[in-house]
Structure 1
Amino acid sequence: MWPEAQHVAFLTDAAARLVALVRPGIEPAVRSSGRHLRQVQLQHRPGAGVSVLYELSVELGGGFVGVTTETLPAPAGGPDAAAGPGHYVQVRVPASSYPGVDPAAGELAVSVWDHPHDPRLPGLAVATVPELVVSRWARGERLVGLQTVTYRPLRRAVLRADLTTPGPIAVPRRIYLKVVRPDVADELLLRHRMLAAAGLPVPRLLEDARAGTAHAPEDPAGILALTEVTGRPLSQQIMHDGGTSLDPDAFVALLDALPEPVLDLKRRPAWSERLDRYAHAARTALPGAAERLRQLEARIQAVIDTTDRGRTVPTHGDFYEANLLIGEGRVSGLLDVDSLGPGHRVDDYACFLGHLAVLPGVDERYVHVEEALAHFGSAFRIDLERHGVTGRGLWARAAAVAVSLIAGARVPGAPRESWEPSAYRRLAAAEQLLALARRSGLVA
């Protein structure tokens, strides 16, 4: 098995040759000028593989090509064969053909696709076509804008569609199309309905005009159409004043309002339960800090292993500032409910605080994070202590979340010196969170 650090190196070195598998003839142009091919996204899922998204220049026809070392089914027709209009190809690379890899490591399977024909997200090829969006979700309106908001290759995508009535008075409407793997679409549909029925501020599901329902069971695409939720991201408030003008108990109450049936959903591992994988990804991104990261991982794990997580309760699973909207001083929106399920309240709070701590490593304008950590951390600790969970365990789990965000500082295609300082600031944030754990009662 190839070391995952070599996955990244190979995908970078062989970019032109791999992209040419679905865009024949581009390799000479790319080799003559690196500007024709730009790496715009790199996603490392420890233990699963590495995915990269490349953008092609206008001279090469434009658009994007995805490449991954994750395990995927072979295209119809077997390996090295293109499968239908998606131009999905797989190749196998012997370890002996790439310098620095032990020949005994065997073959590396690499899959390539022409975007938007993502092999795991068939709905992407529907949600990116204006005519299909209009036919399925417009109500006699015109489509005036269709933009990709987020795209994680092989995992999910969110597109924003702006519609308007034809006149004489133009009435705008904005909807979001969430594209997920078809095998999880029904679970996500259930989560949205469950929270909406409980009165939580989640996006509402929209009907498919073809079927008259929010989701056509016979449709394998895996697309959920959602209403827009009003409010601005909590991150903006944190940038302004650290969120200290908000009542942290409102966030506690939001989690308290998660309905009991959430306990019957599939449980997903918390961030702290995958610390070893995220620490490995961080070492891949920052090889110069490998020993520092190993020691940090061991210290965090030691605290996690000796602190109680409390009873199992309904949890959001991805509870942090980007998924929380604020309107008129209150929580007006709860987004991204994919990870909703049974878990531990301490892990939702740790997710919140871990993401909060690394914000200065994302944008230097976050100058109020220290106040925010004190403001929210105090309220969360008080709530947890009612249930026998210590602040020591909370801060250690928050440190684990911060570790999970270190590798994400890496900017695809950019020189190391442009993003490495941000990665080191995230590492420092994780160490500071662990220091808070040490100061919370017993010393770790």
Structure 2
Amino acid sequence: MPDDGARLLTGPRVEPLLRAAVEHQGGQLLTWSLDHVDAAPEQSTTATYVAQVAWPHGERTELLGVSARTGDLSPSDARADIFEDGHRKVAVWLYPNDPDLLGLPRAAFPDRMAETLNAGTVLTRPVTAEQLSLSMIAYRPRRRAVVKVVVNDPREVFYVKVLREKVFADIHHKHQLLRQAGLPAPEVALTTADHLLVTRELPGMAMARALFEPGDPCSPEELINLLDAMPASVAALERRPPWSDAVGHYARMVSATLPELGDELGWLSNQISTGLARFPLGNEPTHGDFHEGQLRVAGGRVVGMLDVDTIGPGRRADDLACLIGHLSTIQRMNQQQEAKVRDLLARWVPVFDRRVDPVELRLRAAAVVISLATGPYRGQEIDWREQTIGMVRSAGALVRQVTPNG
């Protein structure tokens, strides 16, 4: 089996590389811990580490990133520092100098963000770094980042997507396409040459939060109608494979971290792939990653749809299954919250069943759950084993609902 670097980057043997990288920058590594792991089994592994570093000007907490590959390093790896452990070359960088996210240094610091907003005349007045509050909402090393920018006096909120060069123009076009069709996608306020997409905050409350407020966040019919309102031109965009196409890949990723789940995941993956083989690809306009974290609601209605990077042709069951999969795997809920989500699913799924094939819906939802089961380990959650096992069991419950003798 090709060595994808996972063992090196998740074990103690990575320390000399981290130490050498910090010393190369003029610092001294004091302590470190694994923060996040992104693995493509048998291809590559990228990991980040929280490190305490002593610099000539004082101690700081830093984020270090390392990428290893089975074959040659990628062209963008050359933007990082290249080190060898005696057997292979790896790319190492210090946040925010991510080799694939060239705009991250601009988005990570208030002074540079203020300069960017002022140069783009995004606001009606110039702002200073002191008027900005920045927080990292999401960071997938070498893939994407999202930074929330709050401007004070008066308060305005922006979200800055830090993108790779090869996807930037496509994602910008998708935002414009939906806005022109009247869909509640984010308004693009500014773009930059280093691939930042600055959008204005949408109205309403995040559905992920509204789930736990009194009443329903919206109706299931509202969700279906929103998806069905997407323009036909979305179906002419490049096709993104549905989550179910990669169920075997995600099952192997989970099995690599929890081998005792290998047989169960193999059976689930086979049932899902076999069961979905009779369904064509589909040419409906789809969101591609439709879940409670992507929606804004107010007054029982959907008023915003986020993260439209993934729109394209597919099957409506893909989108509805994605929502079911996410709702089925929300972590850290108390008993009252769990009861609320179970009740919503019990009432919403039958409505979805009238719009799409019920068997297809459950198999696709199970595939989404298996893809999500890679998350606790990637994020190095303290109880990642228990969370992962729980997710695999949820996927199994969905498959067994529609599998004879399951």
TM-score (norm: length of structure 1): 0.81
Q: 2:127 aligns with which of 141, 145, 161?
A: 141
Deviation per CA, 1:357-406, whole angstroms, max 9, x where unpaired?
Answer: 111x454443333222222211111112xxxxx21111011101101111
Q: Is the 8 A contact 2:143 2:163 kept in 1?
A: yes
Q: Is the 8 A contact 1:145 1:161 kept in 2?
A: yes
Tell me how far 1:75 sits from its aligned partner: 5.3
Q: 1:89 aligns with which of 78, 81, 85?
A: 81
Quickly say closer, same or farther: Cα 1:366–1:206, change in 2 above 3 A: same
Q: 1:150 aligns with which of 128, 138, 158?
A: 138
Tell me how far 1:412 sits from its aligned partner: 5.0
Q: 1:247 aligns with which of 219, 236, 253?
A: 219
Matched, 1:121 2:94: no
Q: How does 1:20-419 map to 2 (within 5 A)?
A: 20-24=19-23, 36-46=31-41, 48-57=43-52, 59=54, 60-70=59-69, 71-73=73-75, 83=79, 88-92=80-84, 108-138=88-118, 139=123, 140-142=126-128, 143-164=131-152, 170-207=153-190, 215=191, 219=193, 221-240=194-213, 244=216, 246-306=218-278, 308-309=279-280, 311-359=282-330, 361-364=331-334, 365-384=337-356, 390-410=357-377, 412=379, 418-419=383-384
Q: Is the 8 A contact 2:32 2:51 kept in 1?
A: yes
Tell me the secondary structure at the aligned position of residue 338 of structure 1. Answer: helix
Quickly say closer, same or farther: Cα 1:320–1:309, change in 2 above 3 A: farther
5+ residue gaps, structure 2, are none
Number of aligned residues: 389
Q: Is the 8 A contact 2:291 2:322 kept in 1?
A: yes
Matches of 1:244 and 1:201 in 2, distance apart? Answer: 20
Q: Is the 8 A contact 2:272 2:399 kept in 1?
A: yes
Matches of 2:251 and 2:77 in 1, distance apart? Answer: 33
Tell me the secondary structure at the aligned position of residue 154 of structure 1. Answer: coil
Matches of 1:75 and 1:398 in 2, distance apart? Answer: 36
Tell me how far 1:237 sits from its aligned partner: 3.0
Matches of 2:256 and 2:176 in 1, distance apart? Answer: 40
Match of 1:79 in 2: none
Quickly say closer, same or farther: Cα 1:93–1:298, change in 2 above 3 A: farther
Tell me how far 1:38 sits from its aligned partner: 2.3
Matches of 2:10 and 2:75 in 1, distance apart? Answer: 19
Deviation per CA, 1:275-327, whole angstroms, max 9, x where unpaired?
Answer: 11100111012112111211221222221124x25731111100011111111
Q: Is the 8 A contact 2:101 2:162 kept in 1?
A: yes
Tell me the secondary structure at the aligned position of residue 352 of structure 1. Answer: helix
Quickly say closer, same or farther: Cα 1:222–1:118, change in 2 above 3 A: same
Tell me how far 1:115 sits from its aligned partner: 0.9
Tell me how far 1:45 sits from its aligned partner: 3.5
Query: How large is the Cα RMSD of the aligned pairs?
Result: 2.6
5+ residue gaps, structure 1, are 77-82, 98-107, 165-169, 208-214, 385-389
Tell me how far 1:63 sits from its aligned partner: 1.9
Q: Is the 8 A contact 2:186 2:199 kept in 1?
A: yes
Q: Going by fraction, where is strand more abundant, 1 or 2?
A: 2
